[in-house]
Amino acid sequence: MKQLLWFFCFAFLLSCNLKEKQVEKKEKKVYDMYESSEMAILMNQMYAHNLKIKKEIIAGKIPTEFPLDFLKIHTAELSDFKYRNENFQAFSTLFVAAEKDVFNAASNTPIEDRFNNAVGMCISCHQTECTGPIPRIKKLLIK
């Protein structure tokens, strides 16, 4: 009899733990979904690409090819709690223009300045839209 009681106790504890794990899993999934909105993926790609460009510039290379993927900023879907307002459209256009100028071989402005200008546009938009990643974006600036 005593043994049976222990068994139930144990089974109860086990199922409790299982439930907890399931809840944890669910929460993680929601988080992941947020993380991977089309726009968030694009942003992370733009971050990685600009980091690569920064390294090239520091190494004395002149980047020549505007990454066409950056134009997706005009169409990529945002996390569902955010929407595209006029502000966002205006900043996207300014950002794309500044980023294109990085690859403008005819420009007289030093490449470092043009690159920092483009990163400055990332930061300007983030100041109005989502301030969280700003410290990370600032690391892209060439000092």
For ligand HEC, the binding residues (CB under 6 A) are 35, 37, 39-40, 43-44, 46-47, 50, 78-79, 82, 88, 91-92, 95, 121-122, 125-126, 129-130, 133, 136-137
Scored b (16 or more CB within 10 A) or e, 103-131 reads: beeeeeeebeebbbebbbbbeebbeeeee
Rounded least distance, CB 68 to ligand HEC, Å: 14
Please report how close the Cβ of residue 38 comes to ligand HEC at its closest, in angstroms: 7
CB of 86 to ligand HEC, least distance (A): 11
Residue 95: name the closest of 60, 66, 53, 62 by CA: 66
Contacts of 45 (CB under 8 A, 6+ apart): 69
Decide whether 47 or 66 has the Cβ nearer to ligand HEC. 47
Choice between 57 and 122, CB closer to ligand HEC: 122
Q: Which residue has 């969280």 as its token pair?
A: 132
